[in-house]
Amino acid sequence: MTLAEELSAALDELRRDSLERSLRLIESAQEAEVRYGGRDFVMLSSNNYLGLAAHPGLKRAAAEALARWGVGAGASRLIAGSLGPLHELEAALARFKGTEAALVFGSGFLANVGTISALCSPRDVVLSDELNHASIIDGCRLSRATVRVYRHRDPTHLKVLLEESAGARRRLVVTDAVFSMDGDLAPLETIVALACEYRASVMVDEAHAVGVFGPRGEGLGAELGVDKEIDVQMGTLSKALGAYGGYVAGSRALIDFLINRARSFIYTTGLAPALAAAAGAALKIVESEPERSRRLWENAAYLKEGLVALGFRIGPTASPIIPVMVGASETALSLSERLLARGIYVTAIRPPTVPPGTARLRVTPTAAHTREHLARALAAFAEAGRELGLVGGGSAGGTPAGGRGSAFPLR
């Protein structure tokens, strides 16, 4: 068999198991509604939480930076020099996060991979939540450190692993703040206290928390008042901040060390200056327009309560990420397709992104959605759910669901 034949066979197998993925061409900007195949759809699958991805302020900042600084960064920032907009953004991020310094990476993925592999070596132990993001897992693997995976959100298990790893040179506890596919939260207060007791360091990935949690949108660490005890605060510019790129915030020593040792920072071209300018504009909007985050939470509560009332099984989320649990990949695909037929864009999330048998529709409203968008989505969910036998045939508001109540714990 040629390589192409082997790969085609592998793809056939994925298709048989309802696990094949493909790209859908979107013909508009990433807003509350998107255009696809010549029709408009309510987009409920993006991480554009605050509706900033196509915001005029971000576009203006990017356009101005484009005119002054051009498109490309030329080379690695250590080789061709480091452009002004990146320094401005790093100062703004450090101010926003209340840390001594910050460092921008090409993406959140690159930030995690480079940071974990720079901080840890084969003499070290990384303690990692079992549902951490793929980029954390890959960072752990690249570091060649011993990786001890603790049960999801389980500090008791983490404590056992800390006790067992006393001989390590360095121990790094790493966790998502908001788990990306379930929307539940890491017990950061307990994790920080355990790390202190066992002299371990803590790294938190705030990808889904920045702009969503915290008194000024700084993240979950700030919301819980433990941000000062987190050694490495990682985040992305590409979700609530609507741009692209990743960052790490922390001590000056941490940042200087990463500049010297993070391979995904050193051996890659600097972030495009226009993106840095757009992210800087987003930070200002996050701080000056808290009503965006309020609208996001209101929209999420409305949508979640509606889905629960319809009888859908919602995972134990405590964030605007609403996982509609389906189980089989085939059923998840079918639900997604039926919603699409009704003008609602929600992608099926299947293994290996989530554990086998836990396929779901991950529903994420944004601050930009109107009640009318969300009511349309609920009507479509009701019809599609009934067709698939996922919810009772009665009128909307019938069977109570297996969800965890309607209130978001922190709001």
Ligand X SMILES: *Cc1c(COP(=O)(O)O)cnc(C)c1O
Write out the residues near ligand X by the rule CB under 6 A.
107-109, 112, 133, 135, 176, 180, 205, 207-208, 236, 238, 246
Catalytic residue among 97, 239, 369, 373: 239
**Shorter beta-carbon distance to ligand X: residue 116 or 340:** 116
Q: Which contiguous run of DSSP H or E holds residue 367?
A: none
**Shorter beta-carbon distance to ligand X: residue 112 or 268:** 112
Catalytic residue among 55, 97, 133, 208: 208
Which residues are CB-contacts of 85 (< 8 A; sequence separation ≥ 6)? 65, 69, 273, 274, 276, 277, 280
Nearest distance, CB of residue 210 and ligand X, angstroms: 11
Nearest distance, CB of residue 340 and ligand X, angstroms: 23
Nearest distance, CB of residue 209 and ligand X, angstroms: 9
Q: Which two tokens stand for residue 93?
A: 């991020």
Neighbours of 351 (CB within 10 A): 14
* Angstrom distance (rounded) from CA 18 to CA 30: 27
* Structural contact between residues 127 and 146, judged by C-beta atoms closer than 8 angstroms: no
Q: Which runs of E-coded beta strand occur in 179-336?
A: 201-205, 232-236, 246-250, 322-327
Nearest distance, CB of residue 191 and ligand X, angstroms: 16
In single-letter form, the type of residue at position 136 comes to I
In single-letter form, the type of residue at position 312 comes to F
Residue facing ligand X at closest CB distance: 108
Nearest distance, CB of residue 5 and ligand X, angstroms: 33
Nearest distance, CB of residue 107 and ligand X, angstroms: 4
* β partners of residue 150: 129
Cα-based torsion angle of the residue sequence 286, 291, 293, 297 in order, rounded to the nearest 10 degrees:
180
Cα-based angle 179, 108, 367 (whole degrees, multiple of 5): 60
Phi first, then psi, for residue 362 (nearest 5°) are: -95, 105
Q: Tell me, yes or no, if 288 is annotated catalytic.
A: no
Q: Tell me, yes or no, if 152 is annotated catalytic.
A: no
**Shorter beta-carbon distance to ligand X: residue 48 or 331:** 48
Q: Tell me, yes or no, if 228 is annotated catalytic.
A: no
Across 154-188, b (16+ Cβ under 10 Å) vs e yields ebebbeebbeebeebeebbbbbbbbbbbbbbbbbb
The residues that are catalytic are 180, 208, 239
